[in-house]
């Protein structure tokens, strides 16, 4: 990473891609605010947030009728970006009360999913939740200041990251990052990764805010993740598998399925690369990668999106989350400079939130893309 990169981290300036394409600023802001309102308190077939009592709430995975650390931490990141402290604190209190372990091999990790009443469905964690929780909490600390426990945001974030790096050193448990490669694992016990979990732009910021003893680790993790994505993404199509080994090759089929291919998890890779470029501009490879991915999808209608091998062969299996995939293809524009970028941004702008049973994942990715392309997915220092 060099200061010559001139990403938003250095300049404080964020691209408003919609404005670049001629949309009026007040129209963009109105769309952003309206979409947030729809997710929080919109029609029953669109909303994904539900209050619980006087001071808690949750994002519901509508397709599985459960509450996941993925959605809870995503919701917190969305809320801090929207300056919505009430929703942020409600999501965090639910997470802290029902999902975070207080002892044992998962201490300070979060049970990855639970029922809407808080009853845990599994005890194990999913590391993408922990990294989003930590980053959202740091941003909350910067934007609103730390309050009394559990709203001492920066203290909570540091505790999560401390466990992610050091769990198991003094007893039972496993860290969430592989100590040898500095790569995030799929779960703490797994010998492989998930390319969509790799957020080097978060790790750069963790290197400034985590415990001082771990800051060098997070700098190394940022570099390792950027290099990893070079190998996990196909050199022609830009597609990546859902699960991949630490060398970037697709992971072998698991007992719960075959994740060697491009499907739901993998959609997030394009969004993550786009945001890393917007914030840090540390890896010029990300430009070509984003162009390749957009070129692959340019001739495919959203209604025809499918599961694909990473070299681009379609399965006779439609995408479960086509609106989410469109959203991430559009968010890739933050890094892309090819002829397909405008197409995806305009198509995304003209596409509404998804409704119905499967809406949760699509609409999370949709809102992140809306934030990013309007210049509102920001670093709070």
CA atoms within 13 A on the CB side of 375: 15
Vertex 208 angle, CA 202 and 214, to 5°: 90
For the question of residue 70 being annotated catalytic, the response is yes
Helix (H, G, I), strand (E, B) or coil at 61: strand
Annotated active-site residue in 70, 194, 278, 283: 70
Distance CA 283, CA 142 (A): 27
Residue written as token pair 């495919």: 300
Residues 6 or more apart whose CB falls under 8 angstroms from that of 148 comprise none
Q: Would you say 21 and 379 are in contact if contact means Cβ atoms under 8 Å apart?
A: no
Q: DSSP for 175-235, please give it.
A: -SB-TTT-PBPSSTT-SSB-GGG--HHHHHHHHHHS-GGGHHHHHHHHHHHHHHHHHHS-T
Nearest 5°: phi and psi at 307?
Answer: -80, 140
Helical ranges in the chain per DSSP H: 8-11, 17-20, 25-41, 69-81, 85-94, 127-144, 153-166, 200-209, 215-232, 268-279, 285-297, 322-331, 341-349, 359-373
For residue 87, the tally of other CB atoms under 10 A from its CB is 22
Helix (H) or strand (E) holding 113: strand 113-114
Distance CA 192, CA 228 (A): 12
For the question of residue 146 being annotated catalytic, the response is no
Annotated active-site residue in 130, 265, 340, 355: 265
Q: Would you say 326 and 365 are in contact if contact means Cβ atoms under 8 Å apart?
A: no
Distance CA 178, CA 198 (A): 13
Q: Is 153 exposed, middle or buried (0-12, 13-18, 19+ CB in 10 A)?
A: buried
* Residues belonging to the active site: 70, 265
């Amino acid at each position: 990473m060099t200061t010559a990169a001139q990403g938003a981290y250095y300049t404080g300036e964020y691209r408003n891609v919609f404005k670049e394409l001629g949309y009026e600023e007040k129209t963009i802001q109105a769309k952003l605010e309206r979409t947030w309102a729809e997710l929080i308190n919109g029609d029953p077939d669109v909303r994904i947030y539900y209050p619980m009592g006087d001071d808690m709430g949750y994002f519901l995975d509508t397709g599985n009728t459960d509450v996941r650390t993925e959605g809870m931490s995503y919701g917190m990141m969305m809320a801090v970006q929207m300056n919505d402290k009430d929703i942020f604190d409600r999501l965090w209190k639910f997470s802290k009360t029902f999902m975070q372990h207080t002892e044992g091999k998962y201490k300070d990790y979060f049970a990855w999913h639970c029922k809407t009443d808080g009853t845990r469905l599994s005890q194990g964690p999913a590391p993408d939740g922990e990294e989003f929780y930590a980053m959202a909490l740091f941003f909350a600390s910067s934007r609103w200041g730390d309050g009394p426990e559990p709203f001492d945001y920066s203290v909570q974030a540091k505790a999560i990251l401390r466990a992610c790096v050091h769990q198991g050193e003094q007893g039972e448990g496993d860290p969430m990052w592989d100590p040898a490669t500095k790569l995030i694992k799929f779960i703490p016990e797994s010998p492989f990764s998930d390319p969509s979990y790799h957020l080097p732009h978060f790790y750069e910021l963790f290197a400034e805010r985590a415990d001082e003893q771990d800051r060098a680790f997070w700098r190394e993790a940022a570099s390792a993740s950027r290099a990893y994505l070079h190998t996990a993404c196909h050199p022609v199509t830009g597609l990546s598998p859902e699960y991949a080994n630490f060398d970037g090759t697709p992971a072998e089929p698991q007992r719960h399925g075959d994740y060697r291919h491009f499907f739901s998890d993998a959609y997030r890779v394009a969004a993550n690369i786009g945001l890393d470029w917007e914030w840090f501009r540390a890896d010029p490879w990300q430009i070509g990668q984003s162009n390749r991915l957009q070129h692959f999808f340019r001739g495919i209608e959203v209604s025809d999106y499918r599961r694909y091998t990473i070299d681009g062969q379609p399965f006779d299996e439609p995408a479960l989350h086509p609106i989410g995939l469109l959203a991430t293809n559009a968010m890739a524009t933050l890094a892309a400079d090819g002829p397909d970028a405008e197409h995806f941004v305009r198509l995304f702008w003209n596409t509404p939130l998804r409704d119905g049973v499967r809406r949760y994942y699509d609409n999370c990715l949709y809102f992140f893309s809306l934030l990013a392309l309007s210049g509102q997915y920001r670093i709070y220092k």
